[in-house]
Amino acid sequence: MKIVIGCDHAGFPLKREIADFVAGLGHAVTDVGSHTPDPVDFPDIARAVCAAVTGGAADRGLMICGTGVGAAIAANKIRGIRAAVCHDFHSAHQAVEHDDVNVMCVGAQIVGPWLARDLVAAYLAAEFEPSEDFKRRVDKLAQLEREG
């Protein structure tokens, strides 16, 4: 898969390790920043990550900030994005399997590198389960997006 990764300054120390891990799994990785530990606004990084996903340059996105919350809020403002904060293994794979999440957000101040690797591996290995129930619910999410 083609994966785009981005972070703010709080996620900067973890991002390189996760990008290397994802590449080691055999995925192509595009890093859209931040490229320094200097303060940066996470909505700008969310825009870059999500543009790659919605534009087809990436199959899925990863965002790393302090808690993952701000990144998820920003990403979910962008049409076509379904982002979720995942800090446990079950959510990391079920978000894709049931909700077709295409951007996973992780809090570098919440999880350590070893757990982040497990979460990312689960997220990237998961596939959307195309049952009628899950397809209907994801379609309703798209409808909410169009109406909002």
What residues act catalytically?
65, 98
CA distances from 2 to 31, 53, 61, 75 (A): 11, 9, 9, 18
Label the pairing between strands 60-65 and 28-31: unpaired
Listed in sequence order, the DSSP H helices in the chain are: 12-24, 42-54, 69-75, 89-99, 113-125, 132-147
